[in-house]
Amino acid sequence: KAGVTQTPRYLIKTRGQQVTLSCSPISGHRSVSWYQQTPGQGLQFLFEYFSETQRNKGNFPGRFSGRQFSNSRSEMNVSTLELGDSALYLCASSLKTGMAGNTIYFGEGSWLTVV
């Protein structure tokens, strides 16, 4: 059974540009959440999508957005990139949402470097 797949794995962007990252969840999983990992802030929750609807959002500016498609695949977009957006962006999927005992499984992540 394939795991969570994220593309691209590595990318370099220039300040002011925008970037789109893609995530394919584990087959059958309907919830996709996104996390940002930086050395200083650790793993921080960005947002979660379930059935094409955003269910939860973390404390990130509006430049960070996402969406989910009918096949549960998800994309996240960061506009007007800043140097501080350089991070590992992790996608995680789970079967359901909003229930106790719901484990999330991570992909390998997309390394974004903003120069």
Where do contacts with another protein occur on this chain (CB under 8 A)?
Answer: 4, 6, 31, 33, 35, 42-45, 48, 50, 55-56, 58, 90, 92, 94, 97-109, 111
Q: How far is CA 114 from CA 31, 80, 87, 96, 100, in A?
A: 28, 11, 9, 34, 37
CB 13 → another protein: shortest distance, Å? 19
Task: Classify the phi-psi angles of 92: left when phi > 0, otherwise alpha if psi is within -120 to 50, otherwise beta.
Answer: beta
CB 95 → another protein: shortest distance, Å? 11
CB 85 → another protein: shortest distance, Å? 19
